[in-house]
């Protein structure tokens, strides 16, 4: 978590770091942090398939069905 956060501070356009940080935050139970980082990943790379799938799954788990549906469209 700290290493990825440090990398983002130094190189804020590092798409993979946001994606990985989102995954780590989800595994650690921080759904808000996970969602924010996965959304940032998609802001930087809208076709990032892994982030799309991870965010969609997270949204479904959080019962944000309309958001998940819009993401999958």
pLDDT tens digit sequence for 26-63: 999 999 999 999 999 999 999 999 999 999 999 999 99
- Give CA–CA dist 61/45, Å, rounded: 23
Collect all residues with Cβ–Cβ distance below 8 Å to 73 and sequence separation of at least 6.
none
pLDDT at 1: 84
Mean pLDDT of 9-13: 88
Confidence of residue 12 (pLDDT cuts 50, 70, 90): confident
Residue 68 has pLDDT above 90, yes or no: yes
Asked whether the whole model's pTM tops 0.85, one would answer: yes
Per the CB < 8 A criterion, the answer to whether 58 and 26 are in contact is: yes
Q: 70 is written with which tokens?
A: 């819009």
């Amino acid at each position: 978590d700290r290493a990825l956060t440090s990398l983002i501070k130094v190189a804020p356009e590092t798409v993979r770091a946001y994606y990985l940080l989102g995954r780590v935050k989800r595994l650690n139970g921080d759904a808000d942090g996970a969602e924010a980082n996965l959304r940032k990943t998609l802001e930087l790379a809208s076709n990032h398939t892994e982030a799309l799938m991870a965010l969609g799954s997270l949204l479904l788990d959080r019962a944000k069905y309309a958001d998940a549906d819009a993401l999958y469209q």
